[in-house]
Amino acid sequence: MGAKKTGKSTLGSLLMPLVMLAAVGLVLALLNGGTDSGLVAKVRDSWGQVAASIGVPGSRGAVDSGTGSPSDDPSTLTVAAKGSMDTYVRSNFGPAWTDNVNVEGGHNGCDTRNDILARDLVDVYAPDGCKVLSGTLADAYTGKVIAFVRGTDTSSAVQIDHIVALGNAWVSGADSWPKSRLVMIANDPLNLIASDGPANMGKGARAADEWLPPNAAFRCTYVKSQVRVKNKYGLTVTATEKSVMMHYYGKC
């Protein structure tokens, strides 16, 4: 018996002529010197919408990645080109460290930053049961021991890092998410770690093939944590990013 065709495959065969027409229209518009920029923009937009709806490879809306759970296995992550950072702003992911979020620790009366400080520091001093005023961090990124003291000039010594940076999440599929899901990944303890401030700033929005912690002993655990987040949230990886993840898989 032949394989049963899915509804998506049938839809793809029906709409493929529209995709081809859109592509031809774009080429013709460009060959005409691009004089009608509005036409080019409309055709390009039509191509993107149709391609995403039928699963044309390379269309961001068609990407299906991960397990939907925090698996350590990077083989389940889909390789895709990075999206654009042009539309990325931190506010896309909601108010920083909001407690109004449906993740572990959400709605507990303490903001996310204080939740993670309380989790990752030792000798925590939080007299009101929430706001961490001081503590000690054994920083996994650098191997240093950092004394944290809350204050205008001192709080930045310990920062909360998104293990999968929000900028990287954005170009790995999050740009198509609803607001509620963006707020979740920004505040999910699975994706957060208290870290040395300068190390966090040095990382920026870089992926595992572009940045690893200076502390070599923590690199495997760090990469595994990225894999777990990307699997849970269905984010994509680049080919070189996945090769780094496969290199560390099963080693910690």
What is the tens place of the pLDDT at every residue in 86-137? 999 999 999 999 999 999 999 999 999 999 999 999 999 999 999 999 999 9
Cα–Cα distance, 238 to 245 (Å, whole number): 11
Tokens 């994706």, located at residue: 191
Contacts of 180 (CB under 8 A, 6+ apart): 102
Contacts of 157 (CB under 8 A, 6+ apart): 146, 147, 148, 149, 196, 197
Calculated CA dihedral for residues 101, 104, 107, 108, nearest 10 degrees? -150
Q: Where are the beta strands (DSSP E) in the chain?
A: 122-125, 134-138, 145-149, 158-162, 192-196
| pLDDT for 44 | 37
pLDDT digits (tens, 9 = 90+) for 32-59: 444 444 443 443 333 334 333 333 333 3
> 200 with 42: CB under 8 angstroms?
no
Q: For all residues of the chain together, what is the average pLDDT? A: 83
> What's the pTM?
0.75
> 162 with 172: CB under 8 angstroms?
no
> 115 with 162: CB under 8 angstroms?
no
| pLDDT for 108 | 97
| pLDDT for 63 | 61
Give the least confident one: 10-14, 134-138, 144-148, 202-206: 10-14
